[in-house]
Structure 1
Amino acid sequence: MAPPDSIARDEWQVRCDLAALYRLAALHGWDDLIFTHISARVPGPEHHFLINPYGMMFEEITASSLVKVDQAGAKVGPSEFDVNPAGFIIHSAVHEARDEAHFVMHLHTVAGVAVSARREGLLPISQHSLFPLASLSYHDYEGVALNPDEKARLVSDLGKTSLMMLRNHGLLTLGHSAADTFLKMFMLQRACEIQIAAQAGGGELIRIPSQILAGIRAQSDKVMRGSGAELAWPGLLRRLARQNPGHDA
């Protein structure tokens, strides 16, 4: 769909990609009613961002319904919807600290919260786990994210990683593209699902040797970004077109 006259073409592409991320999260069963967030940086020097209209379900979100906000989370331009302040505290911290964080995805999946609540966190027990473990950090729970002072601690814990477990809370990934950000979340979420299933079966878990994990670190960028993410993204958009069309409206 062509962008409205009031929206620049490059911003419209970001809006379409972000709306697709929301609908893909819903399609995979990763949404939590209206209570988690995915954000994107708007191209240009203004330091504006796009986030979900608070009150819309993920499967309803369209490119045109996304709300543009500034670094403080205040709306830029008219919108009938508000923005969740707790949601944007986390996202603004990551966008401000990491230039390559064009997209930030934060979810409250059952498996993600469950693993985040275990002291040992994500374990190297599956091939899926190895790619997130190559760039995974942890941030301790500080309550509902309404305190701006938490931003500095979250950024410090994030460091240079691109995947994070928010303890007792959920999962977070960042990326230079929607494709990159989605694939990181898919791998992290799938690794959590596998771990919960393995632990539910009882008995001793077989950990993958550390030397294999070290070798995966050298390959993770190619798999989680670049060729892997860009190859998967067109197929994901085709799935959306079949099962929940209209995100680019």
Structure 2
Amino acid sequence: MTNSIQAQVTKEEWQARVDLAACYRAVAMYGWDDLVFTHISARVPGPEHHFLINPYGMMFEEVTASSLVKIDLQGNKVMESDYDINPAGFTIHSAVHEARDDAKCVMHLHTLAGIAVSTSKRGLLPLSQQSLFALSSLSYHDYEGVALNPDEKARLVADLGETHFMILKNHGLLTCAETIADAFLYMYLLECSCQIQLKAQASGESLQQIPKDILAGIQAQAKQVTRSAGGALAWPGILRKLQRTNPGYDQ
């Protein structure tokens, strides 16, 4: 199977498959997965607007480069696969990929910390250095039920705007970026921010928020801050750790 898939695609697509499969396994490694119910998608390099997404029913720790499903923006498989895709995942991811050419990778997760913060009316607070990166490019989208309604796509895209971090209220977290490595790092920063906030609030202590002038300074340089977050620096180390703990994603 691996050799047959690799032989059918370009070198660039195979590399995207390897990185995306690694991203799925890294999410499982950090404990951010929700059985089989969340998604990470990546644009296939080339002129066609196709993207890769997880085979519905496969655990994240099992995903391989050859098992990823290639679909178009209408949700049609454009390459033979034994697997189906999650329609809710397609709704969210296709909306972002279609609207944002820079969103080559879209991550959507249901982490416990992310969902907990998404229920807060105040949202993410400027309590940590990690939170400043997210707050520099953060948007919110109101909960509309399970994401099966195509009409929601326009509202989600409007709420996302040009941001790279999104909190889906009562639902979870979303990041998007030019590369898989950056999208993963953005999610790492957002998830860490949520965990830190919950731990700080649980302490019962009076919390010290980062001054507004510091936050405003970072927000004024949002593009520079998020683009220099360092995904390409951290990614090789993540791959090395996966090779030690859960090899085989590149098959």
The CA distance in 2 between the partners of 1:121 and 1:242, in whole Å, is: 37
Q: C-alpha displacement at 1:227, in angstroms?
A: 6.4
State the partner residue of 1:64.
Answer: 66
Q: C-alpha displacement at 1:226, in angstroms?
A: 4.1
Correspondence 1:127 to 2:121: no
Correspondence 1:77 to 2:79: yes
State the partner residue of 1:246.
Answer: 248
Within 5 Å, give how 1:164-243 maps onto structure 2.
Answer: 164-217=166-219, 221=223, 224-226=226-228, 228-243=230-245
TM-score (norm 2): 0.95
Check whether the contact 1:138–1:167 (CA below 8 A) recurs between aligned residues: yes
Could you tell me which runs of 5 or more consecutive residues in structure 2 were left unpaired when the two chains were aligned.
none
Give the letter for the 2:9 counterpart: I
Displacement over 6 Å in runs of 4+ = none
Write the deviation string for residues 196-231 of structure 1: whole angstroms up to 9, x where unpaired.
Answer: 001111132111101111223366555543461111
Write the deviation string for residues 86-112 of structure 1: whole angstroms up to 9, x where unpaired.
Answer: 111000000001000000000000000
Write the deviation string for residues 108-160 of structure 1: whole angstroms up to 9, x where unpaired.
Answer: 00000000000000000111111100000000000000000000000000011
Give the letter for the 2:118 counterpart: S
Q: C-alpha displacement at 1:44, in angstroms?
A: 1.6
Identity of aligned residues (%): 66
State the partner residue of 2:163.
Answer: 161
Q: C-alpha displacement at 1:5, in angstroms?
A: 1.4
The CA distance in 1 between the partners of 2:126 and 2:64, in whole Å, is: 37
Give the letter for the 1:236 counterpart: I
State the partner residue of 2:118.
Answer: 116
Give the letter for the 1:35 counterpart: F
TM-score (norm 1): 0.96
The alignment covers a number of residue pairs equal to 249
Check whether the contact 1:180–1:226 (CA below 8 A) recurs between aligned residues: no
Structure 1 window deviating more from structure 2 (53-62 vs 41-50): it is 41-50
State the partner residue of 2:40.
Answer: 38
Check whether the contact 2:20–2:180 (CA below 8 A) recurs between aligned residues: yes
Give the letter for the 2:101 counterpart: D
- The change in CA–CA distance for 1:155 and 1:76 in structure 2 (over 3 A counts) is same
Give the letter for the 1:86 counterpart: A
Please report the RMSD computed on the Cα atoms of aligned residues, expressed in angstroms.
1.5
Q: C-alpha displacement at 1:245, in angstroms?
A: 0.7
Q: C-alpha displacement at 1:15, in angstroms?
A: 0.5
Aligned match of 1:27 in 16, 29, 35? Answer: 29
The CA distance in 1 between the partners of 2:15 and 2:146, in whole Å, is: 32
Check whether the contact 1:122–1:129 (CA below 8 A) recurs between aligned residues: yes
Give the letter for the 1:200 counterpart: A
Check whether the contact 1:165–1:171 (CA below 8 A) recurs between aligned residues: yes
Give the letter for the 2:73 counterpart: Q
Structure 1 window deviating more from structure 2 (233-242 vs 219-228): it is 219-228
The CA distance in 1 between the partners of 2:147 and 2:45, in whole Å, is: 26
Could you tell me which runs of 5 or more consecutive residues in structure 1 were left unpaired when the two chains were aligned.
none
